[in-house]
Amino acid sequence: MVDDDPVMRLPYLVMEANPDRFPGTNVKGARALSDYLLSKKVQTFLTVFGKDQNELGKQFFYPVATK
């Protein structure tokens, strides 16, 4: 119903904390998670995830990673 309405899209973000502002931050772990979520493998997975779970065959996520 609202699939093509950009106002209804809910973007998911990956953000790494600034270790200068947040001492003790796991910088390596945060970067690894960020790299994984933005990887071609995961972005490709997100484009097909859920298509078989709805009658219209529409995807649930629309990756916009530019990495």
CB 64 within 8 A of CB 11: yes
Would 30 be classed as within a structural domain?
yes
Would 67 be classed as within a structural domain?
no
Would 32 be classed as within a structural domain?
yes
Using a cut of 0.75, tell me whether the model's pTM lies above it.
no
Tell me the pLDDT tens digit for each residue of 1-57. Answer: 566 777 777 778 889 999 999 999 999 999 999 999 999 999 889 888 888 887 777
CB 49 within 8 A of CB 59: yes
Angle at 58 between CA 53 and CA 61, to 5 degrees: 90
Tell me which residue range forms the domain holding 22: 6-53
Would 44 be classed as within a structural domain?
yes
Total number of domains constituting the chain: 1
**Alpha-carbon gap, residue 16 to 44, rounded angstroms:** 22
pLDDT score for 66: 59
Would 63 be classed as within a structural domain?
no
Would 60 be classed as within a structural domain?
no
